[in-house]
Structure 1
Amino acid sequence: MNAVAEHASPAAGASRIGGRLELDGLRRSFGAYNALAGIDIAIEPGEFIALLGPSGCGKSTALNCIAGLLELTGGEIRLGGRRIDQLEPEKRGFGMVFQSYALFPHMSVRKNVGFGLAMQGIKGPEAEKRIRDALAMVRLESQADKLPGQLSGGQQQRVAIARAIVIRPPIVLMDEPLSNLDAKLRLEMRAEIRAIHDQIGSTTIYVTHDQDEALSLADRIVVMSQGHIQQVGTPEELYQRPVNLTVADFMGFRTRMPGRIVSVAGDEAEIEVDGSRFHGLARETLKVGDRAVLAIRPEDLVASATGPGIAATVVSIEYRGRAFFGLARTAAGAELYFRADEPLLRGSSAYLAPAPRRALIFREDVA
């Protein structure tokens, strides 16, 4: 297949625009509500970027602004140094994959995939070859003459991806494309989406609220909250070193224990929580006496029946293959998500302690 080589020579028109994508002070308001409050980021050609955050954080709004489906309230979008935010969506030459697939139900798979080519005026043998290559890339050659309604959800999503890449876009935009699939298909499609990205060489911007998707797919992750970018970094950077509690929440630090700093040494601090003291990595400048929060993932908060650790009562527990995971509650009402190597009875007492150098400590006023 020559799809990769051919991708370097996109169709005539705006799809020839390529290069670095720059979002400069992007703003989008809906009345008094600021969905985007000044977004700045540069995305290099061929990068896979995940926009990660909760519903309403602005990630889909940002994607729709890049696509041209929403006008900007302020700021600029540049591609290869050329301003494109004033171009109509079809003149930007981007491919887009929607959560709902957005396929034409009365058209065959082949015609759905070729729709964008027809809009660009590409017909005949050239269009047929591109459609054939795109269907081969998503492994749907044998389904070309079927209608979307005759396909499974995963197959329909593959058609949507083929339709987005067949025009050889400089940028592919994906808005939570896997959210309608079951867990097994989501895992399979993750691998396929990344493989297709690597094969075609386009920049991919992928919206998700799922940290596992972002971690497994992206070269860099952009964590958003309330229209602002909280942190940009590689999956490893965000997983190991979230800059604040908002980012830590999306990186799986479900347990937060408020307390007070009792000592600081280099990048480590000691915090007293409910009468117990724990060490953690300080993610901000801390001093003795500061109110702070110890944050930790469930797999790194180990529960035992005898201690040491914070005393709590087991509320729920479930077996997940190699270990047990559960929820415990302290006498003060704090909820702690933990891991245990042995089953603990609901209602029993347990002692929970963070694994060494796996807990992070943030100032309380950052929450």
Structure 2
Amino acid sequence: MTLCFEHRLDGRDTDRCVKSIAPNLLDPERPVIPIPMQTREELLHMMKTADAAHILIDGGIFHFNALFTDVATCPAARVYYMRTPDLMAVARLGVFMKDHGVDLKPVRGEDFAALIQQAQYPERHRRWLDRWTSNQRPFKGLLDGRTKNTVVDQGIWLSSNGGCLVCGQPTDRMATSSFIGGNGVMLGLQLCADHEAEAKASPSLMHYVAQSAKVPPPAFAENVEELTAQEIVALSCVAIRDQLDCAIEKVDGTTITAVRPSGFRLILRQDSPMHYAYNIQDRDGKPLSRIDSADHHAVDYGPDHVHRDLSRKKKNEVESSFTYGFAVADLTAIRSLVEHAEAAATRHGP
């Protein structure tokens, strides 16, 4: 909200931003999302474009409300408000609003209930939840895989109710972007084909979303840098040395060969996020397992996939790996693969 006010988004655009994060705010028992305003200027800003602006008196408390009642994409109305029991404060705020062109009328509780379509809310929320669950299911599946296999530990789904976040056109396309630091955040949203093409020309998906909302990108997205191949190799060497207890045996271009205390080898080739492979070999150089990006297997989230067993009988058994092609981000999956191979070798003996 603060960012919206700082960059002078009008009330409608501000409310649109709030609706995009509505799944985090909705309560199946509450047909309105209450959003307190910190200053009378903020409240005035919202009142100027609200569907209804009024004073609601409830239990001796005066609520100055800017109400947005569009429930096409968000089942609950949004009310931006200030409240007080102080009659002098009520008078001052009322005069301030009137001096700025907003003439507030009192409403009763039953009138407010009608404005927010309270009676229809349970059914409206149920229908919305069914749609929202269906629309974000692919994102949830991808996020679950990423949190289990990479440094990603949280996700943000910007809900647009099955339509393009920018224009509202119905779409079944999903766009995602991840920000990797010590941990990772994955952003997901829906865009139509035209706006997806526009987004690809932006520095990042978050930049495009911010530009569409007419606000600057958040700090964690603003400082994104694209790494060179040499930097990727250097960072990967440090990560697998320190976090996977490996000795770096050699580096050949974008391929790193590292050795575990067990004698097992990791051979990591990172030509690009679309062209990479992580290979696990035993002490004798026999291939045991692999993660790679070759687009020749049908997997739910691909083309990135994992061969957990490269024996003749099982080498074509694959599943989505959820990896990025950047070893620093994919350490969880790599560790799981090599530790599984080492454990299997221990069970079977020399």
Tell me whether the two structures share a fold, i.e. TM-score over 0.5: no
Structure 1 length-normalised TM = 0.29
Structure 2 length-normalised TM = 0.30
Identify which of structures 1 and 2 has the higher relative contact order when contacts are C-alpha pairs closer than 8 Å and 6+ apart: 1
Q: Which has the higher helix share?
A: 2
Whose Rg is larger?
A: 2
